[in-house]
Structure 1
Amino acid sequence: MSNRPVIDWLAERLERRGFDIEIQDIPGAAGKSNLIATLGRGDGGLVLSGHTDTVPFDAGKWASDPFQVTEREGRLYGLGTADMKSFFALVLAATQDLRAESLRVPLIVLATADEETSMSGARALTRGSRI
């Protein structure tokens, strides 16, 4: 399953906030991409890193559709509800009013593919990125 819709969604929102956007397609992994979004300039910086995939699942073990968020008894159920997807929501909230000129070093938001399985996103970063 492609992670590109999630990458594009994050990229669009971060670009509106002034981040420079780089999308890195993963060699040998059709439809898989990494996002490197940078706010500010200079050496060093802070990287906020997360992954865009979810743990492989067995639909037969779910009491509800894992592709739909379902609320039961005050809890949310669905793929990604207790993993990195909430991390990206927090990143978007934290960067809402952030401006590049207020930073002494760059802030880099990194979103990788396939952390839960092959690590292909992280491997691609080590081969072809400034990170």
Structure 2
Amino acid sequence: MPLPSFQEQFAALIAAPSVSCTQPHWDQSNRPVIELLAAWLGDLGFACETQQIAPGKFNLLASYGSGPGGLVLAGHSDTVPFDAALWQSDPLKLTEVDGRWVGLGSCDMKGFFALAIEAVRPLLDQPFQQPLLILATCDEESSMAGA
């Protein structure tokens, strides 16, 4: 399957709910975000390892190349709880406002993963001397269990 465009990746990540909260009625699984990232990175040739941290909570370690050391691009896959009534747009839909993309997690941190994929794509046809790792953790916004 071809990799979605940068904007489509960004939108899909924003649309995947992954609220992390110490209050159980707000807390959600981050599995949809991890599954999207694993599928896209796997299609690019990354070896993807998903690790269950707690029920419904997952980390992803995607590696390209092998050997000691390397570069780790790390971020978290969860967001804070939100009140949709306080948003001027749907928080789970990527929306352009005044030339900027907004949506829950667009800056912290779901947008980071779309940017990281976009940045590394042109490099993947070259041999790496050390591995490139992309790490997506769970529950940064609450328990820090993924870290």
Please tell me the TM-score bracket, short chain as reference.
0.7 to 0.9
Summarize the Cα distance change of 1:17–1:112 in structure 2 as closer, same or farther, 3 Å threshold: same
Q: Which runs of 5+ in 2 are unaligned?
A: 1-27
SS at match of 2:121: coil
CA distance in 1, matches of 2:45, 2:98: 39
Residue identity matched to 2:46: F
Q: What CA distance in whole angstroms lies between the structure 2 residues aligned with 1:22 and 1:81?
A: 24
Q: Is the 8 A contact 1:40 1:100 kept in 2?
A: no
Shift of 1:100: 7.8
8 Å CA contact 1:25, 1:32 repeated in 2? yes
- Report the secondary structure of 2:146's partner residue: helix
2:82 corresponds to 1:57: yes
* 3-state SS of 1:105 partner: coil
How far off is 1:72 after superposition? 2.7
Residue correspondence of structure 1 range 43-54 to structure 2 within 5 A: 43-54=68-79
TM-score by length of 1: 0.81
Q: Which amino acid aligns with 1:12?
A: A
Deviation digits for residues 73-117 of structure 1, max 9, x if unmatched? 323332012222221112111222334861111111100011111
Please show how residues 11-22 of structure 1 align to structure 2 within 5 Å: 11-22=38-49
Tell me how far 1:62 sits from its aligned partner. Answer: 1.8
Unaligned runs of 5+ in 1: 123-131
With over 3 angstroms needed to count, the CA separation of the structure-2 counterparts of 1:45 and 1:60, relative to structure 1, is same
2:111 to 51, 73, 86: 86
- Aligned partner of 1:26 in structure 2 is 53
CA distance in structure 1 between the partners assigned to 2:119 and 2:98 by the alignment: 29
Say which SS state the counterpart of residue 64 (structure 1) adopts: coil
Number of matched pairs: 120
The answer to whether residue 130 in structure 2 is matched with residue 117 in structure 1 is no
Q: Counterparts of 1:100 and 1:31 in 2: how far apart (Å)? A: 35
Corresponding residue for 1:8? 35
Name 2:24's counterpart in structure 1.
none
Measured in 1, the distance between the counterparts of 2:46 and 2:97 equals 37
**Hey, what's the Cα distance between the residues in 2 that align with 1:47 and 1:12?**
19
Shift of 1:21: 0.9
Percentage of pairs with the same residue: 56
TM-score, normalised to structure 2's length? 0.73
